[in-house]
Structure 1
């Protein structure tokens, strides 16, 4: 890989290795857990291909709506390299495109210079229908690739129809087979037209599975044959990288930031709170009597629910962070440890994740977590961030709302990043864009979680708004 490019992206050694794999494997899959930088690896691959003149064409990124409109574009904005990109979802001001506006961009793409485009998977069928045989995107990056596992689904049929025009494709997923090895066949067949696992699902079953249940001589359930998983991953190892079939040397801990976005209307409430230290939300007054309270109210708004001026009452504002937590949950089969700060965070999370367990300090809860019987465990760093051994239950920690305390932050991270942890640890921060969340994370990274840092955060937030107005 180009050394200058590697420095520009600040890649880990394993990420450089994966970029080289993607460059040298025209149609491939990265089946890696959350937090290992699949997006960054795919972008670095595109840049490497462009710089070395191996790709002078359009590249289309297909992803879930929230990811396509924010995460990918955020990463592009960080890159100091001249690559043209365009969203088929939103305009330059972040407003959602109408169908007519989108089709105008479709038409422009036919004659535009090489560009990286972004589309949501739910709009793929519309896009394929518009272009037909004039499809002009020789390279595809498919995020949350496992959502294309069903060959009979509309979105998968749309993707299959453009494969004859596709020279390169990267499939990104952390959960390639959420329901078992059955799910793998469709994903691999998209990459190799059935060469490795069989041209049909029937052929795949006959080779790697055993009939388990039948009704009237028709098999209704198959189970993998003994050793099938090893055989399958070995068979696809030349086009798919997975922790199950590679010797990647991963860093012991990887830090990642996922951005959440409020709508323009929701963000106005945040701006009003910054400027006036008070705001009416759904006729409820939210007021801050001093800078410390203001910081707390802003953090609550950034997380989606804020306490009002009435004792123990609260008002919901948005679900942007919930959407990102849902994305992680759906794409990562491992148990998730979620750190929250406010009681309102628990209200929001448990409303959408019925199987989430709030840590109660009981030994049986710790045992259940370490035995992997809890899918999502919510912990409050001030009360549960010290002295607990949680490394056996999972290796992914999500900061839903960050703590101001550097000690709490480091101690909570150490609940899973400690001796006895057998997996690479991912620590993921869900940050609401252009809010106090960004400053809190910066202060923690600078190890400046002091009272002055708290006051500086208010000034920082005010400066953001003044720059936007200017």
Structure 2
């Protein structure tokens, strides 16, 4: 695909080229990753300023997102990526590969720093989700802090630099400028811009910003940080689709394939009916979501990939999120996993009012129950499809709960897609906007033929 950058993306790319240390505080959907990769490509192959790049990212992002972006855009396909993931041996082998960009998950930052020490080989470091270094007491921050003098260039990417307040900002900015703007120590930063809030004797539980301190902090970092909100740079309201791909581990993938084969091969005649296809695809969608009802009515667990992906979305987006689910066991798994957020459903008029007033952090809804007639666009602008639906009408109507007249922000719709499953078939059909019985049956027939061609009978 040809990359034709928006004006704001051109601005962000030029800032990376101009500044050795820069923070791109751009909301999800604005294209932080492609901006960073485009600048890396130019710095490496046009200006010859860098030769070896390290990307530090959340595990799922490290596994998939960066390599997927290089494959997506024509001008980036020549970039060689090595994923420093897995066991220690696998990580060491990945570091030995000749590549342009090395990607490691943030949990292994300390290991990497200890491995190289003063012989740090990376002349450019990209911290994808800079806010995950918001704690000055974390091992990952302390480790990376040691090698900041050895970094020629640093890019920090995040959409939520202050998820819990301005105290979170100091460690992130320190990794960019080594304390030049907000001070050399966290304690000094806190004393300069905050006053003790709730306390018990000598123990301070909360710190409050001094009057006007937020404006002073913003001004001090404005020369190296670019802050972009979605509604400021995209025509309002706009719908932004974001496909998040889930990779099952080997054990889960094997279990999925075994269960899929058992279901598919129960259909011996390829002239299947729509009713049969619908029943099969419902089972396959359950499998893709991570669990399925067995013949006894109990739930067989397969993987938690979608739960983990949703957890990351919630971690890096502190705004209300609407999650669409399809099956009862998915609802229960969501409630159990995120019980600390006190997820709600729309049962009463009070629930609707609370959502529209921003009082519900996580709203769970079945597309059939929330598909029509609800005016809830005031409550949020982020949708997550935990499990997709074959019904084009339900899909469109459910999205229209937030993507509708009266919405003041761009609506971001995240699709959680488990690779190698029927999820991909549904997504392709949704993108073509031609879902129907024929599409559904063709998907099942294709899977039947695949297994027969594999010699399974």
Q: How many residue pairs were aligned?
A: 444
CA distance in 2, matches of 1:228, 1:374: 29
Shift of the alpha carbon at 1:325? 0.6
SS in 2 for 1:401: coil
Q: Report the alpha carbon displacement of residue 460 of structure 1 after superposing the two structures with TM.
A: 4.6
Match of 1:88 among 67, 84, 88: 84
Measured at CA, do residues 399 and 48 of structure 1 come closer, stay the same or move farther in structure 2, by a change above 3 Å? farther
Match of 2:56 among 59, 62, 65: 62
Name the SS of the counterpart of 2:167 in structure 1: helix
Structure 2 residue 107 is matched with structure 1 residue 122: yes
Distance 1:357 1:123 in 2: 32
- CA distance in 1: counterparts of 2:39 and 2:93, whole angstroms: 29
Structure 2: tracts of 5 or more residues without a match: 267-273
Equivalent position of 1:143 in the other structure? 128
**Alignment partner of 2:92 out of 103, 106, 123:** 103
Q: Residues of 1 paired with 2:201 and 2:365: CA distance?
A: 51
Whether the 8 Å contact between 1:233 and 1:245 is mirrored in structure 2 is: no
* Secondary structure class of the residue paired with 1:392: helix
1:197 to 176, 182, 192: 182
Equivalent residue, structure 1, for 2:419: 433
Aligned to 2:310: 325
1:20 corresponds to which of 14, 18, 29: 14
Residue 430 of structure 1 and its aligned partner are, at CA, apart by 0.6
In the aligned structure 2, how far is the partner of 1:245 from the partner of 1:344? 34
Q: Cα distance, 1:155 vs. partner?
A: 1.0
In the alignment, the residues of structure 2 paired with residue 199 and residue 464 of structure 1 have an alpha-carbon distance, to the nearest angstrom, of: 61
Which deviates more from structure 2 when the two are superposed, residues 216-225 or residues 375-384? 216-225
- 1:378 aligned residue (347, 364, 376): 364
RMSD: 2.8
Is the alpha carbon distance of 1:16 and 1:257 closer, same or farther for their aligned partners in structure 2, counting shifts above 3 Å? farther
Cα deviation for residue 247 of structure 1 reads 5.3
- Give the Å deviation of 1:220: 6.3
Which of 53, 62, 69 does residue 47 from structure 2 map onto? 53
CA 1:364–1:166 in 2, change beyond 3 Å: closer, same or farther? same
Aligned partner of 1:92 in structure 2 is none
Q: Alignment partner for residue 349 of structure 2, among 363, 386, 392?
A: 363
TM score, norm. by length of structure 1: 0.86
Corresponding residue number in structure 1 for 2:320: 335
Task: State the match for 1:4 in structure 2.
Answer: none
Match of 2:153 among 150, 168, 172: 168
Sort the Cα spacing of 1:277 and 1:423 in 2 relative to 1 into closer, same or farther, 3 A: same
Q: CA deviation at 1:73?
A: 2.5
Q: Aligned partners of 2:154, 2:446: CA distance in 1, in Å?
A: 41
Is the Cα contact below 8 Å between 2:50 and 2:124 reproduced in 1? no
**Match of 2:376?**
390
Residue-by-residue CA offset, 1:129-169 (whole Å, 9 max, x unaligned): 11122211111111221121223322111111111111111
Q: Conserved in 2, the CA contact under 8 Å of 1:34 and 1:328?
A: no
For 2:360 and 2:417, the matched residues in 1 are separated by 25
Q: What is the Cα deviation at residue 128 of structure 1?
A: 1.1
Match of 2:360, SS? Answer: coil
1:272–1:278 Cα contact (<8 Å) kept: no
Aligned to 1:233, which of 185, 201, 218? 218
Cα distance change of structure 1 residues 461 and 143 upon mapping to structure 2, 3 Å threshold: farther
Three-state SS of the structure 1 residue aligned to 2:378 is: coil
Contact 2:27-2:229 within 8 A present in 1 as well = no
Confirm or deny: 8 A CA contact 2:50 2:123 kept in the other structure: no
In structure 1, the partner of 2:291 is 305
User: Cα distance, 1:350 vs. partner?
Assistant: 0.9
Aligned pair in 2 of structure 1 residues 217, 326: CA closer, same or farther (>3 Å)? closer
In structure 2, the CA distance between the partners of 1:330 and 1:195, relative to structure 1 (3 Å rule), is same
The reply on whether 1:180 has 2:137 as its aligned counterpart is no
Give how far 1:10 is off: 4.8
* TM-score, normalised by the number of residues in structure 2: 0.89
- Corresponding residue number in structure 2 for 1:155: 140
Q: What displacement does 1:54 show?
A: 4.1
Residue aligning to 1:38: 32
CA contact (8 A) 1:272 1:279 kept: no
Detail structure 1 runs of 4+ shifted over 6 Å in the superposition: 214-220, 463-469
Contact 2:346 2:352 in 1 (8 A): no
Q: Does the residue aligned with 1:369 lie in a helix, a strand or coil?
A: helix
Which whole-Å CA distance do the structure 1 matches of 2:206 and 2:291 have between them? 45
- C-alpha change, 1:277 and 1:216, in structure 2 (3 Å) is closer
Mark the runs of 5 or more structure 1 residues left unpaired by the alignment: 1-6, 90-95, 281-287
Deviation per residue, 1:208-245 (Å, 9 max, x gap): 22344677788664311222223322321221122479
Contact 1:254 1:427 in 2 (8 A): yes
Task: Report whether the alignment pairs 1:447 with 2:436.
Answer: no
2:417 aligned with 1:417: no
User: What is the CA-CA distance between 1:389 and the residue it aligns to?
Assistant: 1.4
